[in-house]
Amino acid sequence: MTQILNQQVLVLNRLWQAVNLCSVRRALGLLFEGHAQVVSGTPAGEFRTYDFQQWRDLPHEDPDDRADVVRTVALRIRVPRVILLLFFDRMPKKEVKFTRHNIFERDRNRCQYCGRVFERKDLNLDHVVPRDRGGPTTWENIVCSCIPCNTHKANRTPAEAGMRLVRKPKRPKWRPFMQVNLGTAVHDSWKHFLDIAYWNVELGEEVG
């Protein structure tokens, strides 16, 4: 029982942004006090919220499954994996981490040369001033670029390639999502709200 109560739960603020992790024990307390609701996915890929009574009364798929259930003398309730705070809409104040995810968020998946929106798999990160010209790997010199624009620009500045930036790259002032330590065990139900692998690696000189 203690091991289950100490497992981690993802906490969302009122705007459905990941802001923290807490224990199952704390999550159940917030749920019981009416300060939070459970967020759970449906087979259709949608998300529903449940207050304490609704979550407590939700049928269990497997009555013999003890792994995800907290039991007391008078209570049997499934372990919540994601909770939504009902009265908290702030994000923790923290400097925006320089990651692929955050650069794509800043540029909204839009090539900063042609202005078109692409799937992330079809975008590169480009040094506006090439590295061999002294261009640094910083917020102010890295932009999203589609493959055709990146190929056309090659190892030139935008002016040399006859290209213009949609907007000048800047360090963002917001914090788009919570950073979760890569050593943290991540539950499947968190993946809609967090992307902790490729997009959350601190960028360095390896960026092309």
Instruction: Specify the domain boundaries for CATH 1.10.30.50 within the chain.
Output: 94-172
Cβ–Cβ < 8 Å for 169, 140: yes
Range 92-105 average pLDDT: 80
Nearest by Cα to 107 from 126, 92, 93: 126
Residue with tokens 């790997």: 137
Whole-angstrom distance, CA of residue 118 vs CA of residue 37: 35
In this prediction, residue 141 has a pLDDT band, given cuts at 50, 70 and 90, of very high
23-37 tens-digit pLDDT: 999 999 999 999 999
Given a cut of 70, whether residue 191 has pLDDT beyond it is: yes
Cβ–Cβ < 8 Å for 18, 53: no
Gyration radius of the chain's alpha carbons: 22
Cβ–Cβ < 8 Å for 66, 79: no
Whole-angstrom distance, CA of residue 206 vs CA of residue 137: 9
* Paired residues of 135 in beta bridges: none
Given a cut of 60, whether residue 5 has pLDDT beyond it is: yes
pTM for this model (two decimals)? 0.51
Range 187-206 average pLDDT: 61
Whole-angstrom distance, CA of residue 10 vs CA of residue 22: 7
In this prediction, residue 179 has a pLDDT band, given cuts at 50, 70 and 90, of low
38-64 tens-digit pLDDT: 999 887 778 899 999 999 888 755 444
Range 7-22 average pLDDT: 85
Whole-angstrom distance, CA of residue 93 vs CA of residue 139: 19
Whole-angstrom distance, CA of residue 20 vs CA of residue 11: 5
Classified as helix, coil or strand, 58 is: coil
CATH classification number, 94-172, choose in 1.10.3720.10, 3.30.365.10, 1.10.30.50, 3.30.420.240: 1.10.30.50
Range 110-130 average pLDDT: 96
